[in-house]
Structure 1
Amino acid sequence: MGCFTLKKANTTAAFLLCGMCASYGITPNKLVSGGLPAHTGATTTDYLTDGYLTNWKSSSAKEIALNVGEGPQKLLINWESFGDCAWATDFTSGCGHSGVALSNFKILTSANSTDGTDGDWEVAATIQNNPVMARGVTIDFAGKSWFKIASEGDVGKILEIEAFDMSAGGTDTWFFMGTSISQMGIKQQDTDSTTAQLIHAKFPEYTPAMLRGGIGCINSTEVVEHLNEYLEYAGNVKFWAIEMGTNDAWGGGDWNLNTYVSNMQTIIDSAKAHGITPVIARIIATDSAKAGWQINPAFLKAVDKLVENNDLPQGPDFYSYFKEHPELLASDGVHPNAETKGGQAMHHLWAEALAPLYAVGDTAAKTPDSSTTLKATSTFMVPRIYAQGKSIFVEGNLLNATSVTLVSATGQLISQKALSKNYGQVQFENIPTGQYIVIIRGKNAVQTSIVRAK
């Protein structure tokens, strides 16, 4: 991964460096269905709510009911279907995709059912002609305790159902748009934990709602051609985590660069117009010895410039990581390797990249006096954070800082130093090689930064 070091800055630059973190503060939406039994008529299952896609246990029951209990006023119901793991079957001409989506059904709610079949039920939502394999729908749930998906036709193979409490206006909702790299790595391949589970382990208050949207062979032009459908079926989430560019940059040339940049800007503009924040990953490196080509550096520079020009949060650097770890790529030298945990690495890299957004906390729940925006004043200027060998340094005016915390990329607390005076420097020594998050907390400010110890 790249090393992201904050430099000493003037007032304007300092605000931009950490102001962005606060502007994307995430409001939690609690997962209320995790591990609950899913009632499918006379039987119950536990694999539909276990949080894992790769046990490959699915249900084709026409009615699936869950009792999440009373309390939530609104629920977000997410579901994942199987197929060939592509999000949509007809968005690209490069690959043939197959699968039956959960297409025509109702979501019903009940306050007095005891087993998912008896009691009184009301229709909370009606879905018709849904073509995608993962989607979320928000319903009213005040006074209810059960919800049920009741299908009118073939339901295909349902892998997972999740329900999130949206009563507080949760914004911790994510759609992972991508190519076959994401189709395989984010959904199809085994992992110790998903990105959402890694975030929850690091920040227990948060349980991200995560929809997988990878499609093999798709390129940015085809995404733009189907942008209305992306917005219709994944436009109600707050963040789009985007992995896009391998097929645009295929072969190692730059002949398609201008088209790619134009398409990505269209995707960014459309997402922002719908209240969605894009987070873009740097294009994954190939193993050029096997693939016979490598991503042209011009595409990487283009991604970096798109992120900078559009003031977007920093996404994961798939290029640098997989360039250093070609063993995580398959025999074609392009796709993540399931046997060597290439997909697992992608989940961890996404979690590392998104961690600073969660470290800031829920800005919507804070009063103006407790804003987490780092204001560049004479008493709390942006410090310099950098690694040197196996030490990490925090330097600068820390007069109003109360603590400096170092955590690993997987959420383990490494060290926390409480500050009681104006420290010119804080040092963490003998740090193992890896990526870390430095969190500086002040009375009215929080700063986070990612740094890598070599």
Structure 2
Amino acid sequence: MPSPFPRRALLALGALALTLAGAAHLASRRRPASERWGGPLRPAPLVSRGKPVASSPPGGAVLVDGAYRTGAVWCGGHPTPGAPAWVAIRVGRGPRRLLLSWSSSHNHDYDDVYYGAPADYRIETSSDSRDGADGHWRTVVQVTGNAVHARAHSFDFRGRRWVRLVVTGLPARVNPWGLFLDEVDLHDLSGGGDDVWLFLGDSITAEVFDRAPAHQPSFAEAIARAHPGYHPATLAAGLCNAHVEDLVRRIDPLLAQNPDVRVVAIGIGSNDNPPAPFRAGLAELVRRIRAAGRIPVLARVPFQTKYPFDYAAPLAAGVDQVTAEAGLLPGPDLYGWFRDHPERIADGLHPDDQGAVAVNRAWAEAVSPLYPP
């Protein structure tokens, strides 16, 4: 049956279709790389460093000095509801929303709390306090039964000037000296900032992301240097001897506990074998993180020297497979880096201090596409 359209019209329609298809392809290629991976992340500037501090007991100024996991910690004793320990930071006017993160970094695993992490605490804000102790205070966050050594909480700060962390209880099993905090960071989320990271993994994660002086520049500092205006909030959730199934089992409560986390950076596999169930567990972990609206990124399993054979190679290949199948931003190649630098492996498995710095740097370089050019 002859076409109802003249041949010239058909040719014109075909040319138009080709033009539109070409334009769409070109537009997709021109789309910023950050959008392909779930970005770009929005900045969450760090605004607490060097701010005026009041505390009871005294000594709270060390909490805003930028030094993590050092001997300079705030010792809060054994607080109770009737005699709490508190630290107040004068932020000043300006931010409309803040994220407060605290760390008790002398604990190793994320769920270690013996060395001074609080169990019961609240966060308060004030618009009229003059010294961090007087004035009217509004409770914006209340936590009971905390069981990890670092947390982050966001809250409204419109019209306020002071933030106060008030600790009212410690875990049932705690060191004889009581509360130890090494840093309290405040990030400005007024512009919708979501540059908040959870580093999830095994003992390597627990050690290299503790932000100790020997592990500087940390991931956050490396990002701040490479991307002006950015300074990520980070939580290190490493678990000694963890396997991928441990992370799958814990990921849902971890994400619920940390609702402000946007990116989950995963370093797992050094304790796993065989490769097939490892890949399946990794794929399930990625699925759950995405279902929660977060961005997963996987590091290639680091090369090891503790065995007479290449233990990590098939596991690193499994990371590659899951990354490709899920269309993820490729994470850092820790397998390749430590294979080329075995002298930076301290005990056949864990990085030495220079190796830890290299891991932080590799992560910052790998995830650069999540940030605007």
TM range (shorter): 0.7 to 0.9
- Indicate how the Cα distance of structure 1 residues 354 and 82 shifts in structure 2: closer, same or farther if over 3 A, else same: same
Q: What is the DSSP-based 3-state SS (H/G/I as helix, E as strand, rest coil) of the residue aligned with 1:47?
A: helix
Asked if the contact 2:304–2:312 (Cα under 8 Å) also holds between the matched residues in 1, the reply is no
Asked if the contact 2:69–2:106 (Cα under 8 Å) also holds between the matched residues in 1, the reply is no
| 1:180 counterpart (203, 209, 224) | 203
Task: Give the greater-gyration-radius structure (CA).
Answer: 2
Residue 314 (1) aligns with residue 330 (2): yes
Amino acid at match of 2:92: G
Q: What is the DSSP-based 3-state SS (H/G/I as helix, E as strand, rest coil) of the residue aligned with 1:308?
A: helix
Q: What is the DSSP-based 3-state SS (H/G/I as helix, E as strand, rest coil) of the residue aligned with 1:261?
A: helix
- Indicate how the Cα distance of structure 1 residues 18 and 88 shifts in structure 2: closer, same or farther if over 3 A, else same: farther
Residue 275 (1) aligns with residue 293 (2): yes
Hey, which of these two has a bigger chunk of strand by percent? 1
Asked if the contact 1:30–1:165 (Cα under 8 Å) also holds between the matched residues in 2, the reply is yes
Residue 153 (1) aligns with residue 178 (2): no
Aligned to 2:256: 232
Asked if the contact 1:29–1:207 (Cα under 8 Å) also holds between the matched residues in 2, the reply is yes
Residue 111 (1) aligns with residue 127 (2): yes
Q: Deviations over 1:324-375 (max 9, x none)?
A: 1111111x2100113xx12111111111112232243xxxxxxxxxxxxxxx
Asked if the contact 1:286–1:334 (Cα under 8 Å) also holds between the matched residues in 2, the reply is yes
Task: Give 5+ residue unaligned stretches, structure 1.
Answer: 1-9, 90-96, 250-255, 361-454
- Indicate how the Cα distance of structure 1 residues 142 and 277 shifts in structure 2: closer, same or farther if over 3 A, else same: same
Residue 130 (1) aligns with residue 152 (2): no
Aligned to 1:345: 358
Identity %: 29
Aligned to 1:15: 28
Separation in 1, partners of 2:267, 2:168: 35
Aligned to 2:315: 299
Aligned to 2:109: 86
Aligned to 1:324: 340
> If the length of structure 2 is used for normalisation, what is the TM-score?
0.83
Q: What is the DSSP-based 3-state SS (H/G/I as helix, E as strand, rest coil) of the residue aligned with 1:53?
A: coil
| 1:209 counterpart (233, 238, 245) | 233
Hey, which of these two has a bigger chunk of helix by percent? 2
Aligned to 2:5: none
Q: Deviations over 1:171-208 (max 9, x none)?
A: 11111111111111111752231111111112121111
- Please report how far the alpha carbon of residue 12 of structure 1 lies from its aligned counterpart in structure 2 after TM superposition: 5.5
Asked if the contact 2:107–2:149 (Cα under 8 Å) also holds between the matched residues in 1, the reply is no
The worse-fitting range, judged by mean Cα deviation, of 350-359 and 292-301 is 292-301
Asked if the contact 1:20–1:313 (Cα under 8 Å) also holds between the matched residues in 2, the reply is no
Separation in 2, partners of 1:281, 1:302: 11
| 2:194 counterpart (157, 163, 171) | 171
Asked if the contact 2:40–2:371 (Cα under 8 Å) also holds between the matched residues in 1, the reply is yes
Aligned to 1:192: 216
Q: What is the DSSP-based 3-state SS (H/G/I as helix, E as strand, rest coil) of the residue aligned with 2:367?
A: helix
Q: What is the DSSP-based 3-state SS (H/G/I as helix, E as strand, rest coil) of the residue aligned with 1:64?
A: strand
Asked if the contact 1:85–1:188 (Cα under 8 Å) also holds between the matched residues in 2, the reply is no
- Indicate how the Cα distance of structure 1 residues 248 and 83 shifts in structure 2: closer, same or farther if over 3 A, else same: same
Separation in 2, partners of 1:327, 1:120: 57
The worse-fitting range, judged by mean Cα deviation, of 349-358 and 15-24 is 15-24
Q: What is the DSSP-based 3-state SS (H/G/I as helix, E as strand, rest coil) of the residue aligned with 2:184?
A: strand
- Please report how far the alpha carbon of residue 103 of structure 1 lies from its aligned counterpart in structure 2 after TM superposition: 1.7
Separation in 2, partners of 1:129, 1:17: 49
> If the length of structure 1 is used for normalisation, what is the TM-score?
0.69
Residue 58 (1) aligns with residue 73 (2): yes
Separation in 2, partners of 1:216, 1:35: 34
Residue 335 (1) aligns with residue 353 (2): no
Q: Deviations over 1:204-261 (max 9, x none)?
A: 2111111111111111111112223212223431001111110114xxxxxx222211
Asked if the contact 1:82–1:156 (Cα under 8 Å) also holds between the matched residues in 2, the reply is no
Separation in 1, partners of 2:69, 2:169: 25
The worse-fitting range, judged by mean Cα deviation, of 278-287 and 74-83 is 74-83
Separation in 1, partners of 2:312, 2:267: 16
Aligned to 2:6: none
- Indicate how the Cα distance of structure 1 residues 112 and 160 shifts in structure 2: closer, same or farther if over 3 A, else same: same
- Please report how far the alpha carbon of residue 45 of structure 1 lies from its aligned counterpart in structure 2 after TM superposition: 3.7
- Indicate how the Cα distance of structure 1 residues 355 and 50 shifts in structure 2: closer, same or farther if over 3 A, else same: farther
Separation in 2, partners of 1:296, 1:13: 39
Kindly report the root-mean-square deviation, in angstroms, between the aligned alpha carbons of the 2 structures: 2.4
Aligned to 2:97: 74
Asked if the contact 2:69–2:105 (Cα under 8 Å) also holds between the matched residues in 1, the reply is no
Q: What is the DSSP-based 3-state SS (H/G/I as helix, E as strand, rest coil) of the residue aligned with 2:245?
A: helix
Q: What is the DSSP-based 3-state SS (H/G/I as helix, E as strand, rest coil) of the residue aligned with 2:62?
A: coil
Separation in 2, partners of 1:359, 1:122: 36
Aligned to 1:387: none
Residue 262 (1) aligns with residue 286 (2): no
Separation in 1, partners of 2:369, 2:45: 19
Asked if the contact 2:300–2:331 (Cα under 8 Å) also holds between the matched residues in 1, the reply is yes
